[in-house]
């Protein structure tokens, strides 16, 4: 198919410096598709250390840090979308882990598609403390235990996308 539109990453954060640093470090280790754009971090609410953390990886990653004064993730993402183009936008949370192939996997999945499609990816939570014990995992939400759509057997097994590893074209959001 034809190449994907530019792929950029959008992350909203507030007061989670340690997990943001881990997520950005993981992004620096990702293989990037040919048409990779940039990472946009939007800190929302009171100013914290997001800009400082962004600067720490700016020599390894094309990255921008915005600020939105309201402490609200949805408002922050909408604010950041106003600074982006009609590109494939990968929405990540500031506390998720992923494989180094994340970016090229999304670019490959979207190759030849112009709009009207949403994409969902594997979720590997980064725990602030100890990982939950195995016996309790079946009772926890996917945001805590992780989720891999490729392991689903039928379309009925697939839960709705969770808000921390999915992509859509800018014109569709």
Position 127 scores a pLDDT of 66
Q: 3-state DSSP call for residue 91?
A: strand
- Paired strand residues for 8: 89
Mean pLDDT in residue range 17-24: 92
CA distances from 164 to 1, 27, 48, 60 (A): 27, 14, 21, 23
* Contact of 8 with 90, CB cutoff 8 Å: yes
pLDDT tens string 129-168: 777 777 877 776 665 656 555 554 444 555 555 567 788 8
pTM of the predicted structure, to 2 decimals: 0.81
* Residue 122 or 13, more confident: 13
Residue 92, Cβ density class (10 Å: 0-12 exposed, 13-18 middle, ≥19 buried): buried
* Contact of 85 with 6, CB cutoff 8 Å: yes
Mean pLDDT, all residues of the chain: 83
Q: 3-state DSSP call for residue 133?
A: coil
Question: Which residue in this structure is represented by tokens 């600020």?
Answer: 67
Q: Give the Cα separation of 1 and 168 in Å (integer).
A: 18
Position 118 scores a pLDDT of 82
Position 10 scores a pLDDT of 96
Q: With bands split at pLDDT 50, 70 and 90, how would you rate the model's confidence at 1?
A: very low
* Contact of 50 with 41, CB cutoff 8 Å: yes
Position 163 scores a pLDDT of 62
Q: With bands split at pLDDT 50, 70 and 90, how would you rate the model's confidence at 60?
A: very high
Position 123 scores a pLDDT of 65
Q: Give the Cα separation of 8 and 90 in Å (integer).
A: 6
Residue 63's closest CA among 101, 5, 20? 20
Position 104 scores a pLDDT of 93
Pairing of strands 88-92, 7-13: parallel
């Amino acid at each position: 198919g034809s190449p994907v539109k530019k792929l950029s990453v959008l992350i909203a954060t507030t007061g989670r410096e340690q997990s943001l640093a881990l997520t950005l470090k993981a992004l620096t280790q990702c293989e990037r598709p040919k048409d990779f754009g940039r990472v946009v971090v939007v800190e929302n609410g009171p100013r914290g250390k997001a800009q400082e953390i962004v600067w720490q990886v700016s020599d390894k990653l094309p990255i921008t840090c915005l600020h939105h004064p309201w402490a609200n993730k949805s408002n922050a993402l909408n604010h950041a979308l106003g600074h982006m183009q009609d590109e494939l936008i990968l929405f990540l949370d500031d506390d998720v882990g992923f494989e180094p192939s994340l970016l090229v996997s999304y670019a490959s999945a979207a190759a030849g598609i112009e709009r009207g499609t949403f994409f969902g990816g594997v979720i590997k939570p980064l725990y602030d403390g100890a990982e939950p014990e195995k016996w309790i995992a079946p009772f926890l939400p996917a945001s805590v235990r992780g989720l891999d759509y490729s392991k689903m057997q039928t379309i009925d097994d697939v839960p709705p996308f969770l808000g921390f590893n999915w992509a859509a074209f800018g014109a569709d959001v």
